[in-house]
Structure 1
Amino acid sequence: MPQPLHTSLIRLLFLPACLIAIIGNQDLSAGDAITSVDTGRTITKVRSAHHPDGSRIIASTYDGDVIAVDHQGDVIWTCPLSGVMNHDLWVADLDGDGNDEALAANADGHVYCISDDGQLRWRFKANDAPMYSVCVIRHQGEPVVVCGGFDNQVRYLSPTGELLDTLHSSTYSIAKPWGKDPSKPRPPAKLHVANFLRPVINPDDPANDRLLIHGTMNGMQDRGAFYLFKPFASQPEWLIRSPSPTVVGHVQVIPADDKTPPRILVGTSGHSSNMAVSILTTETDHQQTWQIPRRHPKIDSFGYRVVQPMVIDADASDLVILVGNTLVRISADLDETQSRLYQADYSFHDAWMDHSNGQLILASAQSGGSCIHLIDVSQPGWEQVFQQIAPPGKIQAILDGSKAIREQLTHFRRPAWEREPLPVYLMTESRTGVESTIDQLQASYPSPVFLNGHHTGQAETFDRSSIPSEKYRNRRDRRRKYSLSQQQALDEFIPLFDGHPGIAFWGGHGNDPFMFQPDTMMKVIDAAGGKKTVLIYPELEDHSDEFAAVTEHLIYPLAAHAQTRNANLFLRCKHNFWNGSIYQRAWDRLRSGEFADVFVPAMEETSDKSMEISLASRLGMWTSGAVNQWGARSVPDNTSFDRSRQHSHQRLPNHFLRNMVYNISLGATYINSFAVDQEYMSLLWEMIAKGALYVPKRDEIVSFNPVHLSMVSPDHEFLNEGNNVKWCTFYDADIEATRKMVFSRLNGTWPGAPNTPWDFSTYAAGVKDRRLNFLPPYPNGLVLITPPQDASDAPLPRGKLIEHLHPIYRDAMQEIRTNGRSYLDRNGRPTLAADQHADVVADKIRTAAEQLPLTVDGPVAWVAAESSPTHLRLTIVDGGYLNPDDQVATVRFHRADPVRVTDLLTGQVIDGTDDPTLSVKVPCGLFRLLDVQLKNPL
């Protein structure tokens, strides 16, 4: 990669009040066309603001702080807000003094107004639904703030934050839900969320703008519609359904000129197959859409991106479009023959054109960057410079730190007291470009085991009349061609075993679990000759009674056949499956442990916002004995918690690396990863091979809290809420006032929202929001979510939980039962309300933590496992999944009496074992692999 353009590092001081600080002068020797300003924060949104001292950049950080940066690279002020994300950012002069204020639409339900000197001026909140969009229009020459959120309403506010009027979408919306699945209730018709609010200047009446609303009711599948209002009008004067091929992720208005009426630039949010730009005119129904060529060599064919078109020149004749890491230049009439594409190494969270000084402003790299990049588009060749951006700051720190670990591994030797490593199955790794690395590892080490992962676009055609469920008898996956006979399917799969220790491929999908008939899959397993076969079943989420036909006629027959043939079923489920649907009757045999060696609990976390819960649930299934292995997955749209803003194109998969380090350190041995940068991810493979990562057995882990939640038959509303994540118009203030749930805010209404104080995620996992908590802190030890103990009259094959855990838990475990909504009393009735009983549970967890050898505080994920009677392996991982940083973890010793703590990669001995606490620094985007030597066995 090119050398960094600007490498000065700024670490901001985070204070609980607005911080007014001039960060000292920086040497911005970045050439003529581009300047990279390292803010020390992950910047997700950028805008430009007018100020007498010159144009300023107003930016939002990953955690929702708002900062101001001047074009010399000085961070002028920082204003902390709620601690959760901002969904939208707008700047305008609200008080007529010539300086722009900033407005932030925050996921906590507030609109925050920040003065030009960084002071919080006012805040407005109508309810708890996340605020999603904000702008300023002019009415009778005066500014009016307009905001909208997931309560399906738009509100007009005065410049000082008083409510002026409310516009409910039910009074004008043309939104209409679709689908007939009774297990996923549809929302009412004529409701939408204000996906975007934007002013449209009226050239005939400049004192009175129009308000443009883009409304959507489904964050993943609804293209929505545009509505144009006069200020405070009850009905739109113009509306049109969006011409975009998929969800709208970007809207910008081009003001009218002498020749052209106002135009609306629209960009999509979604898969690369649907990347498009549309242009609408408000005076007519004229519309034009350009589908960005997916197969262009400057655009990789897989990924999830927001398409951001912007006017770049004064006469609005030329557009620039940011699509992840690709920049497109094209004329405003979308003439594809004149388009030019430029590709950088990194994708960026946001872009904004500052026409006051001709600078294109880019937010931080999505891979954990900390810079704002300023590109002077008046300089010739600026597009080529874009292609060479090498972000300094955190990205460079991650690259340097990863390189250092790779060098340290050349000298690493596994401690003599540790047993042989357990095998880790890498099921779907691409070998392109890393063939020699994989060959060398396979020749030198027994683990990891590289299976031959295979993907096919075809499925088997066979007589389905014996499938008892009409629903599944008739279901098909529209992405597949149902063209294979059984023999053709066997001819495709069986040769995959040649030259490999095993294979992994999709046996079915939630859209159609019967992609291949059971007999075909059994014949593939039989042909393995003892080699490993893994059948992957993605997106199993159906919790209707119909799914019993799938378990009885597909899943369990395959499991019985696989039991003695070295085969597994990798259940890559979604939403609240592992703490919800799995506790329905259809899954009794899995939970019993009858097929413990076959089933692999795994997750497809895309569109989800509750990773800390699914982790505890899969681990609970494993530690209970229901299964003897568990799995993990990394894929680009893991980061797509909000499908309307899919900035999910991380080119440096450092978040994958840390997530896998954490999961494997928790005992995950089946890994299903998507290739982004295999050379970078080979660092993980090498750590597994050399034993630098310790893969524990479940009875070696000593960082589980002794308190565990056990799930009984799940509450119906909890199941529906947790599985209905795409519709985003369910919010009802009256219902939410009475719906206090153990696992709450799981439907599509809550992207980025704060967790409730009584939610498991808050008091147990220690996470603050419904976002991307793949690396949860669990400061009192990981709280397992397990099948209930002693709930069956007859002994189950899985045995008892304490039989599978470390001996320290034998007399320490405390079970608390829940149905997902409430807690159960001593008589087994769900009478203990979540909001009233949460403090009791939290106190038990805090007290029980003192029985552990140690706990770890801080913004980190951690695992402790016994590697010998007098040694613990302590893995501590930077917990900033997409916002990595240098972290400080505090290790608190309880039952453990340490003699020495050693970093196994560097050999450094960490001082401080005479104290009950130990401070450990974790580098940005990395982890510490520590050995804790004990005076005495636990």
Structure 2
Amino acid sequence: MSFKKHANFKMISRMKYILLAISILTASVGWAAGFATDGNGIRNAISASINGEGVLYVSEIDGTVSCHTTSGKTLWRNPTDNPAVMFEIEAADLDGDGNDDLLAASGNGNIYCWGHDGQLRWTFNPGRKVRFSEVAVVKNGDTVQIFAGGNDCVLYELDTRGNLVSETKYAGIIRKLEAGNFVYKDQQSLLVMAMTSDKWSWSFLGIIDPRSKEVLVEGNIKKGELLQFKSLMINELTVADIDGDGLDDFMFVGTGKADSVASAARDAAGQFVVMNGKMKPIVQFGFPKKDKQLYAHGFAASLQPVRNEIAVNFGTVLYVLGLDGQLIARTGKAYEGFAFNGLTVEPESRQLFGDGQLGGGTTLHAFDLTQDHWWEAPQQLLGRLAEVESNLDTLYRQSLKFKRPAYQKKSEEPWVLVSGREPNEAVANLKGEDLKFVTMSTWSEDFDRSKISKVAGEGALKKDRRKPYDLSQGEIIARARKMEQSGVPFTLWAGHGTDPFYMQVETMIGILEAAPTTCYGFVYAEMGNPEDPRSHYFVNHYIPQLAPAMRKQGRAKLFFRFKNIFWAAGAHLHPWDQLFFSRDYADLVVPTTEDTNSSTQDINLAGRVGMFMGGYVDQHALRLVEDNVCCWRPESACGQTSISPFLRSGVLRAAYGARYGIISGLKFQQEPGIQILYALMKSGVLPQVQPEDILSVGSWHLMKDIDEHHVEISEDGHDVMLYTPEDDNAVISVGGVGWSGAGLSDHDLSKVALGVDYRWLNFIPELPNGMVPIAPIGYQSELKKRGTPFSVSSTKEGFINGKKVPANQFGTYMRQIVEAGAARMPIAVKGASWSAIRLDDRHVRLILIDPGYIDPQERQAVISFQGRQPVSAMDILSTETLDASSPVLTVTVPAGSMRFIDLAY
């Protein structure tokens, strides 16, 4: 980017917010469509009727619910007192007064019912730990039945007062429940969808009699027309009479391709399918390949009775279809524009609402369905995400102006960023730290694996289907030599859980010799299974040969992208313990993440910080990839249109010592996007951190006699059939993908130590007790020497004075440990994610970050000075002087952004 272009960008950026202010003003006087709610990130919206008027019920990401008129007036709002993902809401008149009440299925294990006046009528919990995700209401005459389901594979039937009527077991978690006149025109039945995988197709799809629970119609995925849909990840399922026969059909949207050769849409990026009550596909539309988006969220809404059309949303693209599935219009562009959380038709006002936006949007975007080209209505960036973008614009401009103070020394080493996006000219021209940009490629080798298979078994012959394996050893080494000659720094993806051996170890050594100044190492992902013979072969045969060659070469590292709780637990199991905790390879190993479909990122981070601060590795890495935001994939989409969650996640990791970064994808991000992170690094706003300079650690958590079975359950990223109520009675509880979105008990490590309330995309834990690093039990001697408090667990049970105790008894003890440690820190912060870094003997940089990863909000951070009182405090970007005269200082952290405060002593 030229400087002229950058200047134009800043001008355009400022103009954007002028226009934004105008749009907010016009919205307030009714000139623009839609309105911003006065709550936080919208997850769901549904239309309802109160006193004959159309209203919208809304749920927020953390479980808060509210009611709004279609013009934007808030009638009531009930904040949650038990945070968890609110997976679904339904509107139905349950008491016969003509007004729709609100039902909700929460990941905290409750089904809630609020009256139309906002009063909580009742709560249902089955008496055991469960993550509810579905609720539906069947009405037949005066009989009203409420059905609910979740991850325990049980269909619960409730009456209108929330009393349990029946339980029906299914061979799969309850994925979708919908009521409709599917089979009989005068009688409603219940559509049930169950699944055993975290994303693919279904284990049961059928229509049941709501009274007897007998199956009336079943959609068999194993044969016939439905076989073609077995590779779809079903995002959403809604009900309407599409073919006009007086019976309800159901519409589902899925990501992926249909497998049938006969399907005209088999090569599409995703599918919209309408099935009738006989489980016959009657409409099918494939999203064009050009609209493919990684784990895009898809959903559909029938616009009847207002229009004989169907609106189908796929990521950031909106399609308008006729009832026959023919395309009428398409608007939007892949990876650009608005990524709604859902679509809601409000028939009284004849509007279609786009429900918020991914990443914490608080706006209900309206389309006037009385207009023929209704989809052309311009949508304005309003509400929370507009606030976030304005805050990030300020952060970027301030970071470009920052001058490193004299007391902050320049780092000796560069930031090393494995990224396809280099700095723009404004960032490149900054005088400050050094940034080294490195490419990443995959060169897969065609070689004889018989030597490996003799030791590691037949599994060593298995290859990764995504790789071509089309290069010889000589060709690969020649490529490395060419990279060296051209001076292009590079890394190579060298293995994965599906195949740890993309290349022979001899080939890798040849690469190091051919590229002594440009090869920055090898990347491995998702191969953490300690029982896999290939893992043992890799540790016992590859590593001992690679290590001397890497040390001779002098700059290459081994990057390991492992997910779930691996760095806190799995890494301690054999054979990984000898690689990661022997300290034999501390100079070579760089732990990082592969956290798609993981809801335990907070624990994984604490494990990496423990490795770094404990001296088990001398580097760790931050990883920013667009699929970071995928937790339970069908219910969490990748398409964040703001850099904010990725930026804040990256800053927190860097603030705890990550000097390396792996950054790829992020196709949604427009300028400045990731340039904000580069600017913070290069200017010196974000300092490089050594372990001894991290002041925001008060206590540690150590691992002993790790419960391998519990780790295996927590590590499984695809099997959602591992449910047991006992999963909750663990120090690291409800960690498997089948628990994504669940609320946490008071004894859980994430809640007690790291300030996490529920298992959903916890990339930015609040850290009310500071960081609590995780390390092996062998580190206790060092902690005892320093007098540092620590607790010990097996991941499942805790240890008190060497004796094993159940987690629900251990929680109180663990809380005492972390609170005692927090009281010893020189600085403590409540209300924001944070890190305190010593710059020199007289200066500390305090980094405060909004912890709402996909739910950004303005935060009030309460800073307590528990040791020496600073003589001054200054926001180094705004240059605002803060009052540091009292032991407590309260500051505002902007929504979706951060603050950097230097304390002088």
| TM-score (norm. length: structure 2) | 0.91
In structure 1, how many angstroms separate the alpha carbons of the residues matched to 2:556 and 2:483?
A: 15
Match of residue 89 from structure 2: 89
Q: Structure 2 vs 1, CA of residues 919 and 226 (structure 1 numbering), >3 Å: closer, same or farther? A: same
Tell me if structure 1 keeps the 8 A contact 2:530–2:536: no
Q: Structure 2 vs 1, CA of residues 834 and 35 (structure 1 numbering), >3 Å: closer, same or farther? A: closer
Match of residue 769 from structure 1: 758
What are the superposed Cα offsets for residues 828-858 of structure 1, whole Å, 9 maximum, x if unpaired?
A: xx62322212212211221222221111001
What are the superposed Cα offsets for residues 237-290 of structure 1, whole Å, 9 maximum, x if unpaired?
A: 101045433221111112376546432111115799752111211135345543
CA shift, 1:494, in A, is 4.1
Match of residue 298 from structure 2: 307
One-letter code of the match for 1:534?
Answer: G
Task: Give runs of aligned pairs for residues 777-792 of structure 1, distance below 5 A.
Answer: 777-789=766-778
Match of residue 687 from structure 1: 680
One-letter code of the match for 1:199?
Answer: A
1:263 maps to 2:256:
no
Identity of aligned residues (%): 24
Q: Structure 2 vs 1, CA of residues 41 and 752 (structure 1 numbering), >3 Å: closer, same or farther? A: same
CA shift, 1:708, in A, is 1.4
CA shift, 1:545, in A, is 4.9
Match of residue 817 from structure 1: 792
Task: Give runs of aligned pairs for residues 460-499 of structure 1, distance below 5 A.
Answer: 460-467=445-452, 468-499=455-486
In structure 1, how many angstroms separate the alpha carbons of the residues matched to 2:207 and 2:874?
A: 64
Match of residue 152 from structure 2: 151
1:700 maps to 2:687:
no
Q: Structure 2 vs 1, CA of residues 841 and 106 (structure 1 numbering), >3 Å: closer, same or farther? A: same
One-letter code of the match for 2:323?
Answer: A
1:667 maps to 2:647:
no
CA shift, 1:505, in A, is 2.6
What are the superposed Cα offsets for residues 548-604 of structure 1, whole Å, 9 maximum, x if unpaired?
A: 112112234323321232110010111221122211221214311111111001111
Q: Structure 2 vs 1, CA of residues 482 and 855 (structure 1 numbering), >3 Å: closer, same or farther? A: same
In structure 1, how many angstroms separate the alpha carbons of the residues matched to 2:63 and 2:485?
A: 52
CA shift, 1:124, in A, is 1.0
Tell me if structure 1 keeps the 8 A contact 2:793–2:799: yes
One-letter code of the match for 1:861?
Answer: S
In structure 1, how many angstroms separate the alpha carbons of the residues matched to 2:477 and 2:152?
A: 52
In structure 1, how many angstroms separate the alpha carbons of the residues matched to 2:152 and 2:383?
A: 39
Q: Structure 2 vs 1, CA of residues 910 and 264 (structure 1 numbering), >3 Å: closer, same or farther? A: same
Match of residue 261 from structure 2: none
| Greater Cα offset, 409-418 or 130-139 | 409-418
What are the superposed Cα offsets for residues 438-490 of structure 1, whole Å, 9 maximum, x if unpaired?
A: 7546xx55522111x2334x621101011111154122111112222122333
In structure 1, how many angstroms separate the alpha carbons of the residues matched to 2:810 and 2:881?
A: 43
Match of residue 183 from structure 1: none
Tell me if structure 1 keeps the 8 A contact 2:743–2:757: yes
SS at match of 1:211: strand
Q: How many residues align?
A: 863
In structure 2, how many angstroms separate the alpha carbons of the residues matched to 1:246 and 1:5?
A: 41
SS at match of 1:592: coil
One-letter code of the match for 1:232?
Answer: R
Q: Structure 2 vs 1, CA of residues 265 and 498 (structure 1 numbering), >3 Å: closer, same or farther? A: farther
CA shift, 1:9, in A, is 12
CA shift, 1:132, in A, is 1.1
| Greater Cα offset, 484-493 or 756-765 | 484-493
Match of residue 880 from structure 2: 908
In structure 1, how many angstroms separate the alpha carbons of the residues matched to 2:339 and 2:43?
A: 12
One-letter code of the match for 1:227?
Answer: G
Match of residue 5 from structure 2: none
In structure 2, how many angstroms separate the alpha carbons of the residues matched to 1:412 and 1:902?
A: 13
In structure 1, how many angstroms separate the alpha carbons of the residues matched to 2:49 and 2:21?
A: 28
In structure 2, how many angstroms separate the alpha carbons of the residues matched to 1:261 and 1:72?
A: 33
Tell me if structure 2 keeps the 8 A contact 1:711–1:820: yes
Structure 1 residue runs of 5 or longer lacking an equivalent are 11-23, 170-190, 792-799, 803-808
Match of residue 563 from structure 2: 574
Tell me if structure 2 keeps the 8 A contact 1:38–1:392: no
Q: Structure 2 vs 1, CA of residues 48 and 28 (structure 1 numbering), >3 Å: closer, same or farther? A: farther
In structure 2, how many angstroms separate the alpha carbons of the residues matched to 1:490 and 1:382?
A: 58
Task: Give runs of aligned pairs for residues 508-907 of structure 1, distance below 5 A.
Answer: 508-546=495-533, 547-565=535-553, 566-587=555-576, 588-676=578-666, 677=669, 679-705=672-698, 707-733=699-725, 735-736=726-727, 740-789=729-778, 811-824=786-799, 826=801, 831-858=804-831, 860-907=832-879
1:194 maps to 2:160:
no
In structure 1, how many angstroms separate the alpha carbons of the residues matched to 2:788 and 2:96?
A: 64
Task: Give runs of aligned pairs for residues 331-370 of structure 1, distance below 5 A.
Answer: 331-335=322-326, 340-343=330-333, 345-370=337-362
Tell me if structure 2 keeps the 8 A contact 1:5–1:35: no
SS at match of 1:466: helix
Match of residue 314 from structure 2: 323
In structure 2, how many angstroms separate the alpha carbons of the residues matched to 1:749 and 1:635?
A: 23
CA shift, 1:7, in A, is 5.2
What are the superposed Cα offsets for residues 115-161 of structure 1, whole Å, 9 maximum, x if unpaired?
A: 11111111111132111111111134422111111111112211221
What are the superposed Cα offsets for residues 280-324 of structure 1, whole Å, 9 maximum, x if unpaired?
A: 1113534554331122xxx3x442222112212438742211112
In structure 1, how many angstroms separate the alpha carbons of the residues matched to 2:154 and 2:68?
A: 33
CA shift, 1:499, in A, is 4.9
CA shift, 1:825, in A, is 5.0
CA shift, 1:497, in A, is 4.1
Tell me if structure 1 keeps the 8 A contact 2:20–2:386: no
SS at match of 2:798: coil
Q: By percentage of residues, which structure has more helix?
A: 2
Task: Give runs of aligned pairs for residues 212-291 of structure 1, distance below 5 A.
Answer: 212-241=191-220, 243=226, 244=229, 245-255=231-241, 259=245, 261-269=247-255, 274-283=269-278, 285-291=280-286
Tell me if structure 2 keeps the 8 A contact 1:426–1:450: yes
Tell me if structure 1 keeps the 8 A contact 2:94–2:144: yes
CA shift, 1:675, in A, is 3.6
One-letter code of the match for 2:65?
Answer: V
Tell me if structure 2 keeps the 8 A contact 1:886–1:924: yes
Tell me if structure 2 keeps the 8 A contact 1:450–1:501: no
In structure 1, how many angstroms separate the alpha carbons of the residues matched to 2:594 and 2:151?
A: 25
Task: Give runs of aligned pairs for residues 319-468 of structure 1, distance below 5 A.
Answer: 319-335=310-326, 340-343=330-333, 345-385=337-377, 388-421=378-411, 423-431=413-421, 436=425, 440=429, 445-451=432-438, 453-456=439-442, 459-467=444-452, 468=455
Q: Structure 2 vs 1, CA of residues 356 and 455 (structure 1 numbering), >3 Å: closer, same or farther? A: farther
In structure 2, how many angstroms separate the alpha carbons of the residues matched to 1:593 and 1:914?
A: 44
| Greater Cα offset, 213-222 or 918-927 | 213-222
SS at match of 2:738: coil
CA shift, 1:500, in A, is 4.6
One-letter code of the match for 2:536?
Answer: A
One-letter code of the match for 1:871?
Answer: H
Tell me if structure 2 keeps the 8 A contact 1:579–1:614: yes
In structure 1, how many angstroms separate the alpha carbons of the residues matched to 2:622 and 2:182?
A: 53
Tell me if structure 2 keeps the 8 A contact 1:25–1:74: no
What is the RMSD computed on CA atoms of the aligned residues? 2.6
Q: Structure 2 vs 1, CA of residues 595 and 148 (structure 1 numbering), >3 Å: closer, same or farther? A: same
Tell me if structure 1 keeps the 8 A contact 2:199–2:233: yes
| TM-score (norm. length: structure 1) | 0.88
Tell me if structure 2 keeps the 8 A contact 1:4–1:391: no
One-letter code of the match for 1:134?
Answer: V
Tell me if structure 2 keeps the 8 A contact 1:276–1:289: yes
